[in-house]
Structure 1
């Protein structure tokens, strides 16, 4: 039994009950299944599991953190609904995305419903004002991270703002700037919510002395999580990963750890060939295969893996600031799962 299975057995049912409770409030009967669809498609529930485990690691009953656990999972799914609209994605978790199943306009309305469900959950936390501020900070970070992610695309977007402000091509002549912008982007788009998931544990337990350690734990865990996600996007098994392999290539992205690392090593000819693929209006599966072959000439996969492990080591080190108990060990196990996962 891995750590997620163990924690799902302990908390999974109550987490799902919380999600349904907040999403069902005042929902029209004929809209209910549509609203619930996003959270019913599955997912690891990693973020709420971190919140409840962190609360216990700080010495409190996990039940005080159930509204906070709902908040982080609702934020996660709220962001996915809009990510899929922006990327015109058809599949997530091997199932139709909300926008593919119900249409973009319905998906926008569903996303708004999730945002208001988050507000309902905030009202039931220990300190609604503090949780509201942290929630706003987190959602703004995710939004800014998404903006940077799109700006790091090499081509493809036709929106005037992103065409005029595209960063990707400008940063190719300065690898350090490209790398630093990538790290900033994932620290916002991914790590900010995992950080909040951890900090919400300390806030729910009313243990301010735990906040710094859990903030560092969540931030570095989030960075490691995203770098590994980038590796799996290029080299993963679609049956295990649950998402389309090479999706970042098809979306013209430079903001992928493997692509960033490859660009540092590629000779001029191979770099030109890779950028030629990323610059195509429509990128085929054969193009993805060719891009992966080019990337595989470098040590990009190994260097990205090393990057993930360095973030993981910093995450684990931060836990040394907490009083050791079985729940801190569970946080360590979550970290180990994160850097060895195949999905």
Structure 2
């Protein structure tokens, strides 16, 4: 039994009950299945499990942290609904996305329902004002991260704002600026919510001394998580990963750790060929295969993995500041699971 299976057996049913409770509030019967669909498709529930475990690591009662756990999972799924609309994604968790199943307009309405469910959950936290502020900051960070992610695309968007402000091509002549912008983007789009999940545990336990180490633990865990996700996007197994392999290449993204690291090493000819693939109006499966062949000529995969492991080491060092108990050990196991996962 891995750590997530262990924690699911302890908290999974209660987390799901919380999600259904907040999403079901005042929903019309004919809309309920569509609203519940996103959370019913599965997911690791990584973020709420971190919240509940962090609360106990700080000496708190996990039951007090259940609304906060629901908030982070609702934010996560809320962001995925809109991420899939923006990227016109068809598959997530090996199942149709909300937009693929119900259409974009319905998905927008469902996303709004998630945002209001988050507000309902905030009202049941230990300190609604503090949790509301943290929630607002987190959603703004995710939104800004998504903006940077789109701006880092090499081509493909028609929206005037993104066409006029595209960063990707501008940064190709300055690899360090490209890398730093990438790290900033993932710190906002991915790491901010995992950080909040950990901090919400401390806040629920009323343990201010835990906030800084848990903030650092969650931030670096989130950074490691995203770099690993980028590696899996290029080299993963779709059956394990639950998402389309090569999706970042099809979406013209420079904001992928493997792509960033490859661009540093590639010679002019291979670099130009990779960029020509990323610049195509439609990137085919054969194009993806060729892009992976080009990337595989470099040490990009290994270098990206080293970056992920460096973030993981920083996360573990932050965790050591909490002292030692069985729940801190569980947080450490979550970190280890994250950096060795195949999905």
Which interval holds the TM-score relative to the shorter structure?
A: over 0.9
Structure 1: 4+ residue segments shifted above 2 A? none
TM-score by length of 1: 1.00
Where does the alignment leave 5 or more consecutive residues of structure 2 unmatched? none
Partner of 1:48: 48
Alpha-carbon displacement from aligned partner over 1:306-328 (angstroms, at most 9, x marks no partner): 00000000000001111210000
Partner of 2:146: 146
Alpha-carbon displacement from aligned partner over 1:142-161 (angstroms, at most 9, x marks no partner): 00000000000000000000
RMSD between aligned alpha carbons? Answer: 0.3
Instruction: State whether structure 2 residue 286 is matched by structure 1 residue 286.
Output: yes
Partner of 1:110: 110
Instruction: State whether structure 2 residue 34 is matched by structure 1 residue 34.
Output: yes
Partner of 1:20: 20
How big is the shift at 1:60?
1.0
Where does the alignment leave 5 or more consecutive residues of structure 1 unmatched? none
Partner of 1:335: 335
SS at match of 1:89: coil
SS at match of 2:153: coil
Partner of 1:239: 239
How many angstroms apart in 2 are the aligned matches of 1:143 and 1:239? 29
Matches within 5 A, 1:66-145: 66-145=66-145
Partner of 1:274: 274
How many angstroms apart in 1 are the aligned matches of 2:287 and 2:233? 15
How many angstroms apart in 2 are the aligned matches of 1:24 and 1:135? 21
How big is the shift at 1:86?
0.2
Alpha-carbon displacement from aligned partner over 1:96-138 (angstroms, at most 9, x marks no partner): 0000000000000000000000000000000000000000000
SS at match of 2:135: helix
How many angstroms apart in 2 are the aligned matches of 1:250 and 1:51? 34
Partner of 1:11: 11
SS at match of 1:150: helix
TM-score by length of 2: 1.00
How big is the shift at 1:61?
1.1
How many angstroms apart in 2 are the aligned matches of 1:247 and 1:32? 30
How many angstroms apart in 2 are the aligned matches of 1:22 and 1:242? 26
SS at match of 2:145: helix
Partner of 1:64: 64
Matches within 5 A, 1:211-250: 211-250=211-250
